[in-house]
Amino acid sequence: NAGVTQTPKFQVLKTGQSMTLQCAQDMNHNSMYWYRQDPGMGLRLIYYSASEGTTDKGEVPNGYNVSRLNKREFSLRLESAAPSQTSVYFCASSEGGRTGELFFGEGSRLTVL
Amino acid sequence: GENVEQHPSTLSVQEGDSAVIKCTYSDSASNYFPWYKQELGKRPQLIIDIRSNVGEKKDQRIAVTLNKTAKHFSLHITETQPEDSAVYFCAATLSSGGYQKVTFGTGTKLQVIP
């Protein structure tokens, strides 16, 4: 039982390049999330998927797209990376319903030069 | 939308002392309040949570209190140990239609000095 797995762990991009962060969970959770973490700003929600087949914008969606490929997988794409997207990205999942605990992946550190 | 404020941003205590972190929220419909601990370079992990129908919850050295009227909740760590050093995040959660809308505070870096 690996929990939430995200790849890659580290990535360096040049401005304008694109990349996809992959996330998979093996807990049969309904809801999945992408957060970014920046110093002094906590965890900010980029996009979420309440259930398979649905996605919606969070607090800071500009410059990102997501795909809920199936119940297990939720990917985050940067189409044209900008230095402002330098951050640590966390994928998370939760059962949904009244149970609110978020289970996080290990994080992906992205640097955009 | 929900707004969560967390104080202090940094906190240093001597080993064995108590630490208190406070959070306020704005949306009275929020009904679940988790606390996450993030050690350096690691993922955030839930350490304790409280629901809106409960005023206080305790788990060994950690306790959380909730005042719904004032819209604030606090984390209390007693007899602090060096391994308590980490960043702590509070969050307010609104459950709606099977989805939890989670808003995090900006974090408190706790340093326990041996």
User: Which tens digit of pLDDT belongs to each residue from A21-45?
Assistant: 999 999 999 899 999 999 888 899 9
Encode chain B (114 residues) as per-residue pLDDT tens digits: 889 999 999 999 999 999 999 999 999 999 899 999 999 999 999 999 998 888 899 999 999 999 999 999 999 999 999 999 999 999 999 877 667 789 999 999 999 999
DSSP states along B40-82: TTS--EEEEEEETT-SEEEETTEEEEEETTTTEEEEEE-S--G
Closest CB to A100 among B6, B49, B104: B49
Chain B residues with CB under 8 Å of a chain A CB are: 1, 6, 9, 32, 34, 36, 42-46, 49, 89, 93, 95, 97-100, 102-107
Between strands A43-49 and A56-57, the pairing is antiparallel
Q: Which two tokens stand for residue A30?
A: 């309904």
Cα dist from B35 to A32, A39, A110, whole Å? 19, 18, 26
Substitution target in B57, B104, B108, B109 with the highest count of A β-carbons within 10 Å is: B104
Among A110, A79, A89, residue whose Cα is nearest residue A35: A89
Inter-chain touch A90–B106, beta carbons under 8 Å? no
Nearest to A42 among B34, B45, B89 (CB): B89
Q: What is the DSSP string of A50-109?
A: SSTT--EE-S--TTEEEEE-SSSBEEEEESS--GGG-EEEEEEEE-BTTB---EE---EE
- B29: chain A residues, CB-CB within 8 Å: none
Candidates A44, A50, A100; nearest CB to B93: A100
Contact between A31 and B98 using a beta-carbon 8 Å cutoff: yes
Check residue A42 and report its DSSP letter.
Answer: -
Strands A108-112 and A56-57: unpaired
Task: Round to whole Å and give the CA distance between A107 and A54.
Answer: 23
What pLDDT score was predicted for residue B98? 64
Encoded tokens for B84: 């308590």
pLDDT at B53: 82
